[in-house]
Structure 1
Amino acid sequence: MDAFSSLPDPILVLILKYLPDFTSLDVLIHASPVMSSIFDRCAAEIIENVASRNMSSCFRYILQHAGSAAVANETWSDVAEFHSAQTWSNPSKGVLKSLPIPVLRRLVTSASNVEYLCHIFLHTHLHRIHSMKPTHLLHPGTRLDPYAVTKYDPALAGLKYSIPDTGPPSWVEIQRVLRALWRLSTYYELGFAMPLLQSKPGEQTKVQDLSYQDFWTHLPWWEIDEMECVYEHLIEIGELDLFQPGNCAPLSRLPPGPLENEDGSCRLSPVPQDDALGNKWGQSQEALQRKSPASHFFLSLCHRGPNVSSRVLGGATWQSFRRLGFGFWDLKRMSQLEMMNPPLNLHRDLTTSSMKQKPYTQDDLKFTWMSVLSNK
C-alpha cells in the first residue's frame, strides 16, 4: 500500500511543493504512484516552487527554456530565433504550464541530474584546490621584473604551505556551477529535440554540429568559461551521458559525505544578503552577474584576454587556473587560499624584523600564482 494514500490531496501537494531539491522530487514521484498522480495535476506549480529554493531568480528562466527546448517548435527556423524567442532576463508566467506532462517529468529528471553533477563537481574541485602546494616568495617584498620571470624559480621560493580547509561552497559558488550545468543541459536538450535546426539562415551547420560555445555565443565570456570548466570536468569523470534525455543520475556514486552548508548543516546554502560584507567577499546576489574575482585578477595580469598567454604568469593561460575551479570561487575562498591577498601566515614566514618591514607587493602574489603551475 502506498504510504501517502491516506493523506488528503492538498497535503500531498504541499509535501511535493516544499521538497528541498529536485532529486527528492524525482525519487518521490517515481517511488509513489499517489505522488506521481498528484504531480501530474499541478506539475508546473510544483517545479516552480522547488526551483525557487534551489536556483537564483536571476537565471531561473533557464529552467523554463530547458523545458521549451525539449519540445520541437517548427516556428524556430534557426538557433538565433530560439534565443530571440526566449526572455533571457526573468522567468515568464505560464511557460511551464504550456509544456506536456512527459516533458515536465523529463525536466525534473534533468534537474536531478544537474544537482548530482553540481555535487560531484564541487567535491572534486574543492579537493583539487586543497591538494595544491603553493609557495610565497622567500623574501616577501622583493621587487621582480614581471616580464623577466618566465617560469617559477624554486630558488626564490619559501617553504610550500598546505592549503587549509576553506569550508563548504557558498551560495554564489553553487549557483555559478548550476548555471553552467543548466546551460549545457539546454544545449543538449535542443540538439536532441531539433538536431536539424540551423545555426544561421542558409548555413549548413546544424545544432548537432554546433559547439556549446557557439550555441551560447551571445553570453559574456566568463559565463561561457564556467561551462568550459564544467564540461572539461564531465569529460574527466565520464558523466556527459547524463545530458541525454531520460538518463538518471547514479546517486549511489555520490562522493561520501554531503556538502555541508556554511553553518555546518546539510541544508541548502542560504541566499546571501546584499550587504557590505557580502559585496566585499563576492557573495552577494549581484556577484552572480559578474566575472569571478580570480578571473578578473587574471585579466588584470594578462591584459589581452583569457585565452592569450600571460607573460606575467610564465606564459600560462587562464585554462590552467580554470582547471582548479578558480572561475567559480568567490573572493573569500580565494583569499583563504592566499591567492588574492597577502599570506594569512605572513607572520610565521617572516623571522627577522628587516623582512617584516618589507611591503607585500603584487609581485609576491604573481609568484604565488605561478607556483601553482610549477609541475605543469
Structure 2
Amino acid sequence: MSQHQSDIFTTLPWHILEAILEKLEDLSSLHSIYRASPAVFSLLHEDGTARRIIQRIMDSSMPAETRVLICKFACLRWNARLVADMDSFIEQYVNNDKYTNLPRELPLGTLCDILAASATIHYLAHAGIHEMIDRCMALEFFHTKNEDLKYMRGFGRHPTGPRERMYQEDVGAPSAVEEQRVIRALWSVFLTWELRDAVYGLSPRLNWSADEVQKLQNLHTENIWHCEQTWKGHVSGQLMEEARTMVEWCSCLFPTLPCPVERYHAAKALARRAQWQYQCNCPPPRAIDIGKRDDEITSEALSYKFVTRRLATHCISPLLHVSFRVFRCFGFVFWDQERMAALGLLPSRDGSPALPQAPRSELDMYARWVSILNADELDEIEERKEHFVPGTERPVCGI
C-alpha cells in the first residue's frame, strides 16, 4: 500500500482537515502529523494556512507568557538581522511583550522551525520532568519524632532529637501546571540559544562587533532575562530559577558539549530522528485544564516561595540564607502543591485531606528539607551565615 493510500487525511475536505488540526492539544502533535501525512503537509503549504492553524493551537493550549516567547522566537528566526547588538536585543525581545500573535508575513520555513522546536521542547520537557521526579523519589527524607521541638541546634552534624525515615509518594504524571512551567522555561532558553546561534554559531547571521560577541558569551543564558523580570516586577526570581534549572539539566543531558550553541544544535537534532519521542505514558494535558489553571501556572510555585521567604529567612530556620540552587536538581521550582505534599515537604492544599506523610509542625517541615542536603551543602550554608551582614540581603565576600 502506498503512503498516500495509507494516509486517512487524504479523504477529508481541506476545510474539515484544518478544523481538526486546530483542535490538537499542542504544537508537537501537529509536528508529528505534518511529518507523517502528505495531506497535512500539502495543507500547511497553502498560503496562510500553517500560520492560522499554529496560532489557534497556541491560543487554546498555552498560557500567554509561552505564546509571547514563541512569537519572539519566530521573529528572531525571521528577522535576526534587525538585532544590531545586545542592547537592541534586550529592547526588542526582552523588554517588549507586544508579541501576542505570529506576524502574517512569517515564511513557511520559520513556521516549520516553530513546530520542530516545539517537538524538541516537548521531548526535553518530559525527559527532564521524569528524571527530576525520579531524583525526588530516590531521596531519603527524615522527620523528627519530637513534635514539641521548637528549635534545631547543630543540625549539620548532630540533629536535635531522634529522627526516623519518612516515605514519600509519587502522584504520577506531571500536571498541566508542572508541564507548562517546564515548557515556558525551555522556550526562554531556546530563545537565548537562538540568539547565540545567530551571533557566533556555525553559520552566524549577525555581524556583531567583537566586544558585543564577548559580552554575549560572558552572559549566562538565564541572566539575559534579568532586565525583563526587573521591569515586570513579579515572579522574577522564579522565572530565572526555572531557566537555570533547565539550563543545568540540558548541560547534564549533553555533558560533552560545553557550549550553549552546541547543545542547541544537539537538542534540535532530536526532533529530526525517526524515534525522537520520549517514551512515557503521560497523556497530553487538555486545553481546558491549562485554561483553568493559567493563574497557577503564572504565579509563584509554593515550593519556591517557601524556600526563599521562609526557609532562607525565618530566624528559627536551620537553613537560614540557603540558596535555592542546592534544590535545583530536584525540579522543586516546577512542582505543584500536590506533588510537594506527596513528597512530605509541604502541607496539602486547603480543603484537601491530610496525607500520612504531612509535616506535623514547622520544625518538622524544616527537618525534612535539611535531610535533603549533604554535608558539603550544609557546610556551605554555615559559611554563608558566618559571612552574612545583618540588615543586608547578601553575604559579604561574594559567598
TM-score, length-normalised on structure 2? 0.75
Deviation at 1:187? 0.9
2:264 paired residue among 243, 261, 271: 243
C-alpha contact 2:26 2:61 (8 A) present in aligned 1: yes
SS for the counterpart of 1:143 is coil
| In structure 2, C-alpha distance between the alignment counterparts of 1:7 and 1:242, rounded to whole Å | 40
| In structure 2, C-alpha distance between the alignment counterparts of 1:204 and 1:375, rounded to whole Å | 40
| In structure 2, C-alpha distance between the alignment counterparts of 1:371 and 1:45, rounded to whole Å | 51
Residue pairs, 1:223-372, within 5 angstroms: 223-238=239-254, 243-244=264-265, 247-249=269-271, 250=273, 252=275, 254=277, 256-260=279-283, 267-268=285-286, 270-271=288-289, 284-299=293-308, 300-303=310-313, 312-313=318-319, 316-341=322-347, 344-345=355-356, 360-372=360-372
SS for the counterpart of 1:295 is helix
Q: Does residue 101 of structure 1 match 2:111?
A: no
Provide Cα deviations, 1:234-278, integer angstroms capped at 9, x if missing partner. Answer: 222229766328523357365544124xxxxx553743576xxxx
What amino acid is aligned across from residue 252 of structure 1 in structure 2? Q
Residue pairs, 1:72-151, within 5 angstroms: 72-86=79-93, 88-89=96-97, 91-93=99-101, 95-145=102-152, 148-151=153-156
Between structures 1 and 2, the one with greater helix share: 2
What amino acid is aligned across from residue 271 of structure 1 in structure 2? D
**Which residue of the partner structure matches residue 50 of structure 1?**
57
Unmatched 5+ stretches in structure 1: 261-265, 275-283, 305-309, 350-359
**Which residue of the partner structure matches residue 388 of structure 2?**
none
Deviation at 1:38? 1.0
Q: Which deviates the most, 248-257 or 74-83? A: 248-257
| In structure 1, C-alpha distance between the alignment counterparts of 2:19 and 2:332, rounded to whole Å | 39
Provide Cα deviations, 1:104-159, integer angstroms capped at 9, x if missing partner. Answer: 111110011011111111111122212222111021221224xx334164673432
Q: Which deviates the most, 52-61 or 194-203? A: 194-203
Provide Cα deviations, 1:40-74, integer angstroms capped at 9, x if missing partner. Answer: 22111111122234321243111111111112443
Q: Structure 1 residues 36 and 96, CA, compared in 2 at 3 Å: closer, same or farther?
A: farther
**Which residue of the partner structure matches residue 30 of structure 1?**
35
| In structure 2, C-alpha distance between the alignment counterparts of 1:116 and 1:133, rounded to whole Å | 29
| In structure 1, C-alpha distance between the alignment counterparts of 2:219 and 2:154, rounded to whole Å | 40
Q: Structure 1 residues 246 and 128, CA, compared in 2 at 3 Å: closer, same or farther?
A: closer
Deviation at 1:301? 2.4
Root-mean-square deviation (CA, aligned residues, Å) is 3.3
| In structure 2, C-alpha distance between the alignment counterparts of 1:190 and 1:273, rounded to whole Å | 31
C-alpha contact 1:77 1:201 (8 A) present in aligned 2: no
Provide Cα deviations, 1:171-218, integer angstroms capped at 9, x if missing partner. Answer: 221111011000111111122234476999975535455321232222
| In structure 1, C-alpha distance between the alignment counterparts of 2:277 and 2:108, rounded to whole Å | 29
Q: Does residue 8 of structure 1 match 2:28?
A: no
Deviation at 1:25? 1.5
What is the identity percentage for the equivalent residue pairs of Structure 1 and Structure 2? 22
Q: Does residue 211 of structure 1 match 2:220?
A: yes
SS for the counterpart of 2:289 is coil
SS for the counterpart of 2:371 is helix
| In structure 1, C-alpha distance between the alignment counterparts of 2:268 and 2:149, rounded to whole Å | 58
| In structure 2, C-alpha distance between the alignment counterparts of 1:320 and 1:252, rounded to whole Å | 34
C-alpha contact 1:113 1:242 (8 A) present in aligned 2: no
SS for the counterpart of 1:127 is helix
| In structure 2, C-alpha distance between the alignment counterparts of 1:107 and 1:27, rounded to whole Å | 13
What amino acid is aligned across from residue 24 of structure 1 in structure 2? S
What amino acid is aligned across from residue 236 of structure 1 in structure 2? C
Deviation at 1:223? 0.6
| In structure 2, C-alpha distance between the alignment counterparts of 1:313 and 1:200, rounded to whole Å | 45
Unmatched 5+ stretches in structure 2: 230-235, 349-353, 377-399
| In structure 1, C-alpha distance between the alignment counterparts of 2:221 and 2:368, rounded to whole Å | 33
User: Would you say how many aligned residue pairs link Structure 1 and Structure 2?
Assistant: 343
| In structure 2, C-alpha distance between the alignment counterparts of 1:32 and 1:361, rounded to whole Å | 57
Q: Structure 1 residues 33 and 341, CA, compared in 2 at 3 Å: closer, same or farther?
A: closer
Q: Structure 1 residues 163 and 198, CA, compared in 2 at 3 Å: closer, same or farther?
A: farther
Residue pairs, 1:168-183, within 5 angstroms: 168-183=173-188
Residue pairs, 1:180-191, within 5 angstroms: 180-191=185-196
